[in-house]
Amino acid sequence: MRRKIIAANWKMNMTVNESGSYLDTFLLEVAEEKRLDIVLVPPFTTLAYVSERLNKIQNVKLGAQNMHWEKGGAFTGEISGAMIRELFARYVILGHSERRALFGETDAIVNKKTHAAHEASLKPIVCIGETLAERDADKVEQVLETQLRGSLAGLDAKMLTDTVLAYEPVWAIGTGRTASPEQAQAAHAFIRKVLTEISDAATADKVRIQYGGSVKPGNTVELLSQPDIDGALVGGAALVARDFAEIIKLTAAL
Ligand code: 13P
């Protein structure tokens, strides 16, 4: 059985002040929820503060939204895995579609970052997903397979098991348009099939695959009850403490 994992990608939102009042509400709601993994992924400037607030809370983990693949040096504006790990973060989102589309991240870059994350003892949450044009052209599987093979190249079974995948169809992100449970399940099952080819069936069976794209309390149950959907990567709805807590509770009760 794969343990479910629900993560909040705050994107470029939440000052330290704002995250303070968020956590006041959120932690009261979920502090006792131990049936799944919960991850908060704030912007870099808010990581240290959220880390302190999570200090005594075992069941809510911390993640970062990006990192550089080098350990250090002349890379103005970048952040290393060790800098993130030092703040007690356990996860790092890599290759989010916004980074791929707006900041030119390729599968090769995502692959370098994925290896660097493991070296820094961070679990990468590697994002993949097709655009609407690619779906309309019947290229979903081709796109997912290319992204998977490129982003995960060279990872051994242990590293793959410690990697979380996030299937985020680009057309469902921030649009209010969610993949149907059937569309999402089909993509997740395909991803697991490719993982089996990349590695082996036992390893593929252990890898957790999150769905992302307009997840909200109202569609959580239908999506998260699919056999190959092991969690959610939540954007907009995770900016509202009560909504995100509700998504967690609904998932925990499944
Ligand atoms: P929304 O939940 O706002 O669609 O964002 C999804 C996402 O990109 C999470 O990484």
CA-closest residue to ligand 1 atom 7: 235
The pLDDT, as a whole number, for residue 196 is: 98
CA of 140 to the centre of ligand 1 (A): 19
pLDDT in tens, 113-166: 999 999 999 999 999 999 999 999 999 999 999 999 999 999 999 999 999 999
**Which of the four pLDDT bands, split at 50, 70 and 90, describes residue 174?**
confident
Contacts of residue 95, defined as CB under 8 A and 6 or more positions apart, other chains included, come to: 105, 107, 109, 110, 113, 126, 127, 128, 147, 151
pLDDT in tens, 152-163: 999 999 999 999
Read off the pLDDT of each residue in 28-36 and give the average, rounded to a whole number.
92
Q: Residues enclosing ligand 1, CB less than 6 A?
A: 9, 96, 168, 173-174, 212-215, 233-237
Q: Considering the chain, what is the average pLDDT of its residues?
A: 97
* Backbone conformation region of residue 158, classed left if phi is above 0, alpha if psi is from -120 to 50, else beta: alpha
pLDDT in tens, 214-241: 999 999 999 999 999 999 999 999 999 9
178 pLDDT above the threshold of 90: no
The pLDDT, as a whole number, for residue 58 is: 86
Closest approach atom of ligand 1 to CA 97 = 8
The pLDDT, as a whole number, for residue 242 is: 97
**Which of the four pLDDT bands, split at 50, 70 and 90, describes residue 173?**
confident
CA of 103 to the centre of ligand 1 (A): 17
Residues identified as active-site: 96, 168
3-state secondary structure the chain: CCCCEEEEECCCCCCHHHHHHHHHHHHHHHCCCCCCEEEEECCHHHHHHHHHHCCCCCCEEEEECCCCCCCCCCCCCCCCHHHHHHCCCCEEEECCHHHHHHCCCCHHHHHHHHHHHHHCCCEEEEEECCCHHHHHCCCHHHHHHHHHHHHCCCCCHHHHHCCEEEECCHHHCCCCCCCCHHHHHHHHHHHHHHHHHHCCHHHHHHCEEEEECCCCHHHHHHHHCCCCCCEEEECHHHHCHHHHHHHHHHHHCC
The pLDDT, as a whole number, for residue 125 is: 98
Mention the CATH class of domain 5-252.
alpha beta
CA of 74 to the centre of ligand 1 (A): 32
> Best of 6, 11, 164, 167 to mutate for ligand 1, by most ligand atoms within 8 A of CB?
11
